[in-house]
Structure 1
């Protein structure tokens, strides 16, 4: 019943958004693509599947029913990630090609859809989408310290009420927790709410924990960052292993990516150990299209399979499986009692599903990871991850100063204002921040440090965009010194 009341609240808000939308100062161009885009905005801001489907049937060039269902689900998923929108500005303005910056009225998320039309019948032949960035000169005036927490609390409450945010949030400053609260549903079907003790899939925040483990072994003289991995993985084909170092695996510059091998990810998903994962790597490598002429470019190229190799190296060097190593050398040291690969008691992951007609539990959706992975699959709480970051930041219990510095040193350019360290990412957009994020079909996560304000953000969500939306909101609203 509580979830149904939330949905009713969303619908009432949408009526308000739809009726007031035309009052903005945005001016539409007089072009065919503009007319299509205006119809899209009208349909999108209703938040209704039938309206989006009618738009797709009317304006897409491809009239295949399965294709139109796919596009309807795509836009409904976008709506359930970012909510209703307001117009900001044009970024591409051509008669048959229009791209418009939009901002969520509640989520404050930025995105820019692009519709490219056929010139003969003005039907949509292609769609582009800018995500994860924002247009220039759109920074929010920074609040005072007194206003900051009120603004944060109001943001989270509003987004929870409209089913745009569900998860747990912890914000700390100068070693003191200043906001810690759970929002939304752990299990919508059972009307079970999230709590601060709810465990979530932390997705790729697993990677910094793997990096910590690798750097511990480097610090203890058991691994060489710059030695070819053939030293540790002699079973790998030599033409691969002699060209990759641990440094390259940590910084995503190895170009070791097997996910596009036919059937590879489906096989990986059935595994229960990293040994099984490694055996599949060895079996499938000869089918890789880069196998015969493998030569790493040295450029940043995100790789989950590369991190799984790091996990195999940890197991081979220590004689412990990855679960055991993490437990003994990281979790017990820090006091992370709620972190493990076990899925027991975790929040259900949710995303929009066309046939379901709303948010659906995607627990059974393919993850394309094994039960154990050095790239993903750990489950944790906001409190445990906060303990981890504070331990790294303030003590030498896990790593000494020199090796901690390697975690967040801006060693490799990722793109734009983003850089990669040996486990953490460094971003200079808007305000310097250091950390890692995670995303899968129904979970998002952020572990971020803002050094100028000494703020630590931990957010774990069981929906598609709650965590990155909050991260982007926060970095645009932190009080400036």
Structure 2
């Protein structure tokens, strides 16, 4: 009798757990389906908890021309989520005794000897004070050529820029750090960076759909590869960064640069990677602990960035991961060690949202506080009544008036001097939510005034950050 009751109890528990997972899957799927329908999501998702995959699905097109669909097998550019693999390559070389984290980078990159105070650890944790190559080369790079890591090194070897701050004194995210790390890997291993990652990381972990891909420099036909998209200005037409009207054409001129981006992968392969990290089956426990250690600047401020990982660490919390945006792709990879929860979101749409808080609320069965409201349908005439120029109350030099136009059921925000091309959709007759990358909340609120004027307020984080008046 006891055995029968125990089996019955286990069966009931299994059915309850199955029901919970099924309910969570439906809720999560509903969130992403709604976001996709509202132009806020286009990509693939994998969400897992305690070793069980709860949602693994694609939404929208991987290729707008062929209408190929995003699936769990679609391959995406990881953007800055690539940095964790660059950092791991350094860890592997450290394991072999080929470098030390305290080594000055001038030991391996003598051309940059004027930065002799910068160490490998500074590059890994973004405490180097190096200038940002994306900003510097955007203004100086020949747009007819595609730059590589060697070009970045030559660029700074000629300029001999001074550091932005004393190494170790501050933390400032800088892509140049990881470009130099990739070059150090090449020089110490004697292998191309792409080949090193393939041989030492991707192949051993059976990440069969993960590789570095310079899609502009060396284009080739790859099955299931996604194309990254942005909106053409003033339109809902999606275009790739190859097209100058995208505003992102610079990504083409630095497509040969690796270390900071350019790893491509699927949600399934990334899950293999996270599983290996959390279980210490690829890196040792001590190596992983060093990668995810919260260190301090020379002034004692915590650095919540390890080796290629953003960190959330403290009493009763430990999460690691990264996000990224590049070449029409937006990515998020995060793992909560205490909850054993993995969230992988890979998108081939520049303005894609990451509903991370809603995901957590679903999995923890807590009340939903909607990050992204559902769009309501309003007549075009109702929306068009808000168009026009709103003069700001700011009288300081350089203050800009706000410009509101209408486009296909949305309001478009610009200023009279700058083209922001921000799209807002209606969530009520007087309030509109912005379509922005990640989960940055932005709202437009309109209020009729007694004298017939119309007041516009721009809200972010629940606070009014600017306002304007349109005269009647």
* TM-score over 0.5 (shorter chain): yes
1:424 counterpart residue number: 309
Structure 1 residue 352: deviation in Å?
A: 2.2
Answer with 451-460 or 361-370: which moved more. 361-370
1:218 counterpart residue number: 94
1:358 maps to 2:237: yes
C-alpha separation in 2, matches of 1:336 and 1:235: 35
1:17 counterpart residue number: none
Q: Is the 8 A contact 2:171 2:303 kept in 1?
A: no
Distance 1:472 1:360, change over 3 A: farther
User: Which of 315, 318, 325 is the equivalent residue of 2:189?
Assistant: 318
C-alpha separation in 2, matches of 1:407 and 1:251: 10
User: Which of 110, 119, 123 is the equivalent residue of 1:249?
Assistant: 123
Equivalent residue runs for 1:200-215 within 5 Å? 200-215=76-91
2:277 counterpart residue number: 392
Deviation digits for residues 347-389 of structure 1, max 9, x if unmatched? Answer: 1222222254533333443216332410011111111111111
1:408 maps to 2:292: yes
User: Which of 153, 157, 163 is the equivalent residue of 1:282?
Assistant: 157
C-alpha separation in 1, matches of 2:345 and 2:236: 27
Q: Is the 8 A contact 1:436 1:448 kept in 2?
A: yes
2:347 counterpart residue number: 461
Equivalent residue runs for 1:78-477 within 5 Å? 147-236=23-112, 238-240=113-115, 242-259=116-133, 260-261=135-136, 266-267=141-142, 270-271=145-146, 273-283=148-158, 285-286=159-160, 288=161, 290=162, 295-296=166-167, 298-342=169-213, 343=215, 344-345=221-222, 346-364=225-243, 365-367=249-251, 369-397=254-282, 399-412=283-296, 419-427=304-312, 432-440=318-326, 442-466=328-352, 468-477=353-362
Structure 1 residue 249: deviation in Å?
A: 0.3
Deviation digits for residues 126-185 of structure 1, max 9, x if unmatched? Answer: xxxxxxxxxxxxxxxxxx766433321210121222332110111122223221111111
Answer with 254-263 or 323-332: which moved more. 254-263
C-alpha separation in 1, matches of 2:361 and 2:304: 19
C-alpha separation in 1, matches of 2:176 and 2:61: 32
Q: Is the 8 A contact 1:268 1:369 kept in 2?
A: no
Equivalent residue runs for 1:15-30 within 5 Å? none
Structure 1 residue 268: deviation in Å?
A: 9.2
Deviation digits for residues 57-88 of structure 1, max 9, x if unmatched? Answer: xxxxxxxxxxxxxxxxxxxxxxxxxxxxxxxx
C-alpha separation in 1, matches of 2:132 and 2:181: 15
Distance 1:269 1:432, change over 3 A: farther
Structure 2, unaligned stretches of length 5 or more?
Answer: 1-19, 216-220, 244-248, 367-472
C-alpha separation in 1, matches of 2:153 and 2:126: 18
Structure 1 consecutive aligned stretches of length 4 or more whose deviation exceeds 4 Å: 144-147, 262-265, 428-432
C-alpha separation in 1, matches of 2:59 and 2:180: 36
Q: Is the 8 A contact 2:87 2:308 kept in 1?
A: yes
Answer with 420-429 or 144-153: which moved more. 144-153
Answer with 324-333 or 192-201: which moved more. 192-201
Deviation digits for residues 379-405 of structure 1, max 9, x if unmatched? Answer: 1111111111111222333x2111111
Structure 1 residue 474: deviation in Å?
A: 2.0
Q: Secondary structure at the match of 1:396?
A: coil
Q: Secondary structure at the match of 2:93?
A: helix
Distance 1:478 1:270, change over 3 A: farther
Q: Is the 8 A contact 1:340 1:378 kept in 2?
A: yes
Distance 1:336 1:461, change over 3 A: same
Q: Is the 8 A contact 1:268 1:277 kept in 2?
A: no
Q: Is the 8 A contact 1:407 1:421 kept in 2?
A: yes
C-alpha separation in 2, matches of 1:473 and 1:265: 42
Structure 1 residue 274: deviation in Å?
A: 3.0
Asked which structure has the greater CA Rg, the reply is 2
Distance 1:347 1:157, change over 3 A: same
Q: How high is the TM-score relative to the length of structure 1?
A: 0.62
C-alpha separation in 1, matches of 2:84 and 2:310: 10
